[in-house]
Structure 1
Amino acid sequence: MFRGLHTINLDAKGRLAIPTKYREPLSTLCGARLVATIDTEERCLLVYPINEWEVIQAKIEALPSFNPAARRIQRLLIGHATDLELDGSGRVLLPPSLREYAELDKEIVLVGQGKKLELWSKSMWEGRRDEYLDMVSQSDQLPEELMSISL
């Protein structure tokens, strides 16, 4: 459902306008209800339609809480999960704690990832994207699954 890259401005209150092309599908799919949480590998946010998030949360909750690594993931992902709702103008308000984690300021990038979106600061995204491109051009060891995809 989500693909492409969108540069968006965050307003002074911490609101971002969801691209128009996503508003209707989100309204139909999940009643315009989203969940944002931190990415534990990158300084960005993960944004899910609530129905997608509920599946992931159930899997995270099912992890053994006596396993320290599983407990950390539970604390980080579920602990930071925040309900968001599109307002009448198609905007969502990001809480300060999530904006601080991802270092989001005025210019942000929304990156479609199929069933979810990622929110990045523009400068962090551009730096990371360039690193990824360097890794791809230097790597001759792509996963076998990628070798069967024809572009």
Structure 2
Amino acid sequence: MIHFSEEYECKADSKGRIMVPSSLRAKLAPILQDGLVLKRSIFQKCLEVYTMAAWEKEMKQVGKLNRFIKKNNDFIRQFTAGVRVVEIDGSGRLSIPKNLMVYAGIEKGVVLSESIDRIEIWDKQQYYDVLDAGADSFSDLAEDVMGGFDVNENEDGVS
């Protein structure tokens, strides 16, 4: 599985195409033939790109939901709304459908932010606004989220 952790500034053209930086294309090269999945983010007005393997893992979890429970069915509908299988073309561009560009408020400046198992696609100004808005409370958030982990603990939970 590929783990993502970098950030890139790019531009979108008038047709919604983003030139994917060569270093990111190189990272994706071993899995590009499988395709990529593009979807709306749940918590932010941005888009997410999944490798097919990461998407299948997500869908395996979602597929366990009982569709005879209304809120599960509603969640599935919202979660998969606007999902597209996409590819990086021979010129190194990723094409984003117009409806998803509108959803994320992407006009020209774009940030591709790698986020562990997916890549977030943001309007550049919105991305930096979100980061700035959370900067003052990030230390508290880090303590709340990560403070309980034992840094000497291995993956099996053994110190």
- Residue 144 to residue 92, structure 1, CA distance change in 2 (3 Å): closer
What do the CA deviations read for 1:63-110 (whole angstroms, capped 9, x no partner)?
Answer: 111333322221122232101011001111100111111111100111
Residues 10-21 of structure 1 mapped to structure 2, 5 A cutoff = 10-21=12-23
CA distance in 2, matches of 1:93, 1:38: 15
| Alignment correspondent of 1:98 | 100
| Alignment correspondent of 1:128 | 130
| Alignment correspondent of 2:11 | 9
- Residue 149 to residue 109, structure 1, CA distance change in 2 (3 Å): farther
- Residue 144 to residue 88, structure 1, CA distance change in 2 (3 Å): closer
Residues 1-150 of structure 1 mapped to structure 2, 5 A cutoff = 1-31=3-33, 33-137=35-139, 141-145=143-147, 148-149=150-151
AA at the equivalent of 1:56: E
CA contact (8 A) 1:35 1:83 kept: yes
AA at the equivalent of 2:6: G
AA at the equivalent of 1:133: A
What do the CA deviations read for 1:6-50 (whole angstroms, capped 9, x no partner)?
Answer: 111001110011121121332312416210101121101111011
CA contact (8 A) 1:32 1:85 kept: no
- Residue 137 to residue 26, structure 1, CA distance change in 2 (3 Å): closer
- Residue 129 to residue 57, structure 1, CA distance change in 2 (3 Å): same
**Aligned alpha-carbon RMSD (Å):** 2.2
What is the TM-score of this pair, normalised by structure 1?
A: 0.87
- Residue 130 to residue 58, structure 1, CA distance change in 2 (3 Å): same
Instruction: Give the match's secondary structure for 1:31.
Output: helix
Structure 2 residue runs of 5 or longer lacking an equivalent are 153-159
Structure 1 residue runs of 5 or longer lacking an equivalent are none
AA at the equivalent of 1:18: V
CA contact (8 A) 1:15 1:94 kept: yes
Which piece of structure 1 moves more, 87-96 or 76-85? Answer: 76-85
CA contact (8 A) 1:107 1:122 kept: yes
Count the aligned residue pairs. 150
- Residue 54 to residue 138, structure 1, CA distance change in 2 (3 Å): closer
